Amino acid sequence: MTALALLVLSIGVADSINPSTVAPALYLALDRDGVRRLAGFTAGVFGVYFAGGVVLTLGPLSAVPDPGATVKHLIELGLGAGTLVFAAGLWLTRAHVARRLAREERRIRRSSFLLGATIMAVELPTAFPYFAAITAIVASGRGRATEVLLLVLFNVAFVAPLVAVLAMRAAAGTRGEVRLERVRLLLDGHAPVLLPALALAIAAALLLVGGIGLASEGGA
């Protein structure tokens, strides 16, 4: 049980370095009402990711056979290629992205819980680290209560960076508002360039992992 818990925890920590959640959290934290909005965002992320994990663990994922390493690596390559196209699209439309960010900023701030929930709902179908943790949990043959507790452990680790940002924002208080506002404006100005660069890095990582894995399978 201890080894399984450590495995789930380690996967959760690795998966928590997720630009899709950390970047919006930093943005929301730099708002004047950052504590409340970031708390809502974190709750949305945790709630949807945990609920999705429960559904998969207690339902369909336990009945799906392992597709095999080769298929997994082909999926990684396909996702990498798709993300590469997405990065190119973000770069070509960066001016439009900048205008949209400015237009949607107020609405996003008001809906921080919904923002976190929506991000995780979109990401869940391709959350391979989460699937790996769930597979290990299901394969362990533990009882339902233990499986749910392990999912809680994973998701606590997953939102740990968001909680850390929340704690730092709360500690800053009103005296840090001016500095935070300057940093937020700086992020606003560079977001149209940072987003495609981030997508490109993710695409490169997926292609590298999938390619190396497929090559090792072929050489085995």
Residue-wise pLDDT tens digits, 36-50 = 889 999 999 999 999
The reported pLDDT for the residue numbered 174 is 62
Phi, psi angle pair for 34, to nearest 5°: -65, -35
Q: Residue 47 has what pLDDT?
A: 95
Task: Give me the pLDDT at residue 92, please.
Answer: 79
Residue 72, pLDDT score: 61
Long-range contacts, stretch 78-84, CB < 8 angstroms, 24+ apart: 79/126, 79/206, 79/210, 80/203, 80/204, 80/205, 80/206, 80/207, 80/208, 80/210, 81/203, 81/207, 83/199, 83/202, 83/203, 83/206, 84/200, 84/203, 84/204, 84/207
For the chain, the residue count is 220
Reference 77, options 177, 204, 199; nearest CA is: 204
**Ranges of residues in the chain whose predicted pLDDT is under 50:** 104
- Return the pLDDT at 51: 95
| pLDDT value, residue 48 | 95
- Give the pLDDT score at 169: 84
Collapsing DSSP states into helix, strand and coil, what is residue 58?
helix
pLDDT score of 67: 55
* pLDDT for the residue numbered 162: 92
pTM of the model: 0.65
